[in-house]
Chain A
Amino acid sequence: MKRHTLPGFGITLGYTLVYLTLIVLIPLAALFLKTQSGGWHHFWETITSPQVVASYKVSFGISFLAAAVNGVLGVLAAWVLVRYRFPGRRLLDAMVDLPFALPTAVAGIALTTLFAPNEWIGQFFAYTQPLGAWASPQSPTGAWLATQDWARPYLGPTGIRIAYTQIGIFIALTFIGLPFVVRTVQPVIQDLSLDVEEAAACLGASRWQTFTRVVLPGLLPAIFTGVTLAYGRAVGEYGSVVFISGNLPFQTQITPMLIISKLEDYDYTGAAGLGFVMLLASFAILLVSNFLQAWNNRRNGVA
């Protein structure tokens, strides 16, 4: 007979169901019912209007980019934290979690303050500075950029604009997504046995071969999971983005901002509709994440 640490399947399952119902299912069902209170037509019109569709592109597109970049840089950070010993490593390790702990509004204001044109980092992108000179209207590249429609939002009067553009949103979303990737990948790197890498080297594999053929396959599922989690978080992010995005319709307006705008119109149904779309998207993302995790476990023989 198999022994369970927690006794009583009936009680634990019952508790789980009640808990899930109260905390998750009832609010979500209420949200869904609210979307239907204005009728199917209003719901459909709200979630497919051009401004809303443009905001999906901004929210989902930039979140994807940010998660992808975290997929590379986060793995690098995890690798450094696990494999190397250096002074300040523990401090750095703790700092990875800061985006989790910091109220998102604080993060947003801090990032905006850094990247606004007249501030710490923003000032280096002025046209008079080396980092911004290539985009100045006097330079050939800058003159060409000025003729391009897509580049115009980034060309401020005195320098390259970072805060209040899509780049600003990207920076905020990268910031809040980083811990998800690092924290998922870190334990897996810890579990990788060095013997295998040494064996690969003994058998004549180059560093690149060892990395792509031996190390990466083991890490890949964890990386995917981390990236999907970071993506899911970024899609719903409001607090930090609202400060650094310019909030211009069709350019830098994220979907959560439009929900607020609907509430301002007393259009609770429309707001609920958008919320429901975001919910479905997040659910799909989390589902993918769960499948990846299961796949990961099977491959690692945990199951």
Chain B
Amino acid sequence: MKILTLAGLALAALAGSALAAPTILNVSYDPTRELYADFDAVFAKHWKEKTGQDLKIDQSHGGSGKQARSVIDGLEADVVTLALAYDIDSIAQKAKLLPEDWQKRLPNNSSPYTSTIVFLVRKGNPKGIQDWPDLLKTGVEVITPNPRTSGGARWNYLAAWADALKRNGGDEAKAREFVTELFKHVPVLDSGARGSTVTFTERGIGDVLLAWENEAYLALQQKPDQFEIITPKVSILAEPPVAVVDKIVDRKGTREVATAYLEYLYTPEGQDIVAKHFYRPTDPTVKAKYADKFPALELVTIDDTFGGWANAQKVHFENGGIFDQIYQPQAR
């Protein structure tokens, strides 16, 4: 009898601890490592105060496309926080883990923070780079990852394209010419955004790095005496989206906490952390608070300029798309 009671107690304790300590997995992309390390700690504390539960949050980081593929192939992500809506679309379409209209479920196209593409140059800006056309000056070397393998690189490419369109009154041929020329100035095409950052900051290759604004600030924070950030006049509005993965949270019974986790990103506390990690907040008050940190520039959107991600992907980055075409054997 005593043994039975003990066993019952043990079982109850087990069940209790399972209830008390839910674990969620956030599958994210490369540059958000520091952001979510910080945010997870704050949210876990908030969750403990609210519900008394000890929440454990696991993080997985990698190239955005690769992360999406892992989720499709069975990585049990409660939430995905990726670089491109296109990658979450793929999860919805190929693995049917969440509805295809997932992007309508949270404010701002499910993007709690935005970012853009800026230039990181060497201290003193020796090549005098101020805006996109300066990248084509003779002798200027530009570092960007390969758009075929890197989500970040696609933003770089599209930002350059959008700027050229603006300068040439929407002339697609001129934009293509500009981007073709631009890639002739690229000596190394790393496969991911972090790889390019290392090539530029550690290996000393290139005069300008096309980078996420937050990556550029991180590099600057680490070596303030070596680099400068140049914000071009026009760039692209990057909206890294977040989503709860329905099928997985329903199976694991974590829907409530996963939803609260993402919603917390939109609160003033969440937005403050986001801004501290150099992502542009979307909350108006937090935005105003950090206004001097993020220089104003003209931001174009994927939807207006390229007819949405799916279309941009098809026209520019698919096998045989424009990016493949601008690399020709005799190009050099």
Contacts and interface: CB of A to CB of B under 8 A. Distances in A.
B195 to A, nearest CB: 8
Contact of A260 (B191, B318, B331): B191
B88 to A, nearest CB: 14
A96 B186 CA distance: 36
A54 B324 CA distance: 13
Instruction: Among A119, A163, A164, A249, find the residue whose CB has the most chain B CB atoms closer than 10 A.
Output: A249
Contacts of B139: 157
A167 to B, nearest CB: 13
Contacts of A51: 324, 327
A30 B92 CA distance: 26
Interface in B297-332: 317-320, 324, 327-329, 331-332
B240 interface: no
A262 B65 CA distance: 11
Contacts, number: 76
Contact of A116 (B66, B146, B190, B203): B203
Chain B interface size, as a band, is 20 to 34
B204 interface: yes
Contacts of A249: 189, 324, 327
A68 B24 CA distance: 53
Given A50-B329, A250-B331, A264-B149, A242 B204 contact: no
B319 A149 contact: no
Contacts of B199: 164
A153 B329 contact: no
Nearest to B329: A250
Interface string A62-81: 00000000000000000000
Contact of A246 (B188, B318, B327): B188
B247 interface: no
A266 B94 contact: yes
Interface in B137-182: 139, 141, 146, 148-149
Given A112-B203, A118-B204, A264 B66 contact: yes
B327 A264 contact: no
B327 A250 contact: yes
Given A161-B187, A246-B188, A266-B90, A261 B146 contact: yes
A153 B331 CA distance: 12
A267 interface: yes
Contacts of A251: 332
Nearest to B324: A51
A33 interface: no
B191 A242 contact: yes
Contacts of A267: 319
Interface residues of A, number: 36
A46 B148 CA distance: 15
A191 interface: no
B69 interface: yes
A248 B186 contact: yes
A246 B191 CA distance: 10
B329 A54 contact: yes
Given A248-B189, A266-B94, A163 B203 contact: yes
A265 B188 contact: no
A157 B141 contact: yes
A110 interface: no
A270 interface: yes
A54 B327 CA distance: 12
A164 B187 contact: yes
A13 to B, nearest CB: 37
B319 A270 contact: yes
Nearest to B189: A247
B25 interface: no
Contacts of A116: 203-205
A31 to B, nearest CB: 17
A264 B65 contact: yes
Nearest to A116: B203
B149 A246 contact: no
A108 B175 CA distance: 36
A155 to B, nearest CB: 10
A257 interface: yes
A260 B69 CA distance: 12
B69 A266 contact: yes
A250 B330 CA distance: 9
A149 B330 CA distance: 10
Given A51-B327, A153-B332, A157-B139, A264 B205 contact: no
A156 interface: yes
Given A149-B332, A163-B203, A261-B149, 7 more contacts: A51-B327, A116-B203, A117-B204, A157-B207, A164-B187, A247-B190, A249-B327
Interface of B: 65-66, 69, 90, 94, 139, 141, 146, 148-149, 186-191, 199, 203-205, 207, 317-320, 324, 327-329, 331-332
Interface of A: 46, 49-51, 54, 112-113, 116-119, 149, 152-153, 156-157, 161, 163-164, 242, 246-251, 257, 260-267, 270
